[in-house]
Amino acid sequence: MSHSVKRGMLGLALVIPSFLILFVVVILPILYAVQESLIDQNSGEFGLGNYIRMFTEPAMRTNIIYTLNVTLVSTVIALLVSYALAVYLRFGKGWMARWINRLYFIPMFVPGVIATYGLITLYSNHGWMARLLLLIGIDTFPKIIYSYSGLLLANLWFNIPFATMLLSSALAAVPNSVVESARDAGASSLQLFFRFILPLSYKTMWVALTFIFMGIIGSFTAPFLIGANSPQVLGVAMQQVFSNYQETHTASAMAVFMFLLCSVMGYFYIRTMGQDLDKQS
């Protein structure tokens, strides 16, 4: 047996345990959910009845639109804020930039349940902010918690620090010589950003965008605790359909739909990364 064959067999032996774990933990549940989603809840026959119901019933259709709205708006705002913050931390000077650089990642170490209850305590109708405003004579406080704005605020809290960390790492790899040469050549701030900084960091931006999108569309804790009763994001609606109404097949169809949405984002990410590898080769 040649040395290359032995190395190939060793590599295969090292990969098989990981693949088996992936198959049992990820692939089998996905296949089971797809099978369950194709079984009609009432007749037990195979078909697309659960998917048709999901897109035709007004309540479920409203939940889908609401979920996509919250996800897209939260993703765009979180990415823009994170990118702007990362650029400021990379090129900003002074004590404020140093302090932000030390403190911005703290929310990443706060458990989701604790952070959610902190938002409730701070921004609910009888929370700290409402009481502080009452002390100065303002007795009206906008409804933030248990609404669309509450979900948006929670999504930004959870995702901005992580995305900023990723983008800051990418911007830290931008050589100072490139920036200084562009400025010496007379490039404006916008030209410097769009021609140098953005092209050198857009791959990491795609990584941040993918993780933000998947994290928001699959979130449960914050939407369950501070989301409105109606409409609901798909994660909370799926849990209620599964637990309260015992409609496991409909819940499986909702889970498959969420998986397909994440797969679309993953496809564009993998395609973009693949094109870059082809250019490099």
Residue 189 and residue 181: Cα distance in Å, rounded? 13
Domains assigned to the chain? 31-280 (1.10.3720.10)
- Say how far apart CA 174 and CA 63 lie, in whole Å: 42
pLDDT at 278: 57
Contact 258, 63 (CB under 8 A): no
pLDDT at position 280? 58
What's the pTM value of the predicted model, to 2 decimals? 0.85
Position 276 scores a pLDDT of: 62
Low-confidence ranges of the chain (pLDDT < 50): none
What's the pLDDT at 29? 87
- What does each C-alpha distance from 26 to 18, 201, 238, 248 come to in angstroms? 12, 31, 19, 19
Q: Report residue 14 as tokens.
A: 């090292």
Q: Which pLDDT score is estimated for 73?
A: 95
**CB–CB of 36/248 below 8 Å?**
yes
Report whether 157 contacts 104 (CB < 8 A): no
Whole-angstrom Cα distance, residue 77 to residue 225?
A: 22
Predicted local distance difference test score (pLDDT) of residue 125:
82
Write out pLDDT tens, residues 18-63. 889 988 888 898 888 889 988 887 777 888 888 888 888 999 999 9
CA 145 to chain centroid, in Å, comes to 20
Q: How many CB atoms neighbour CB 234 within 10 A?
A: 27
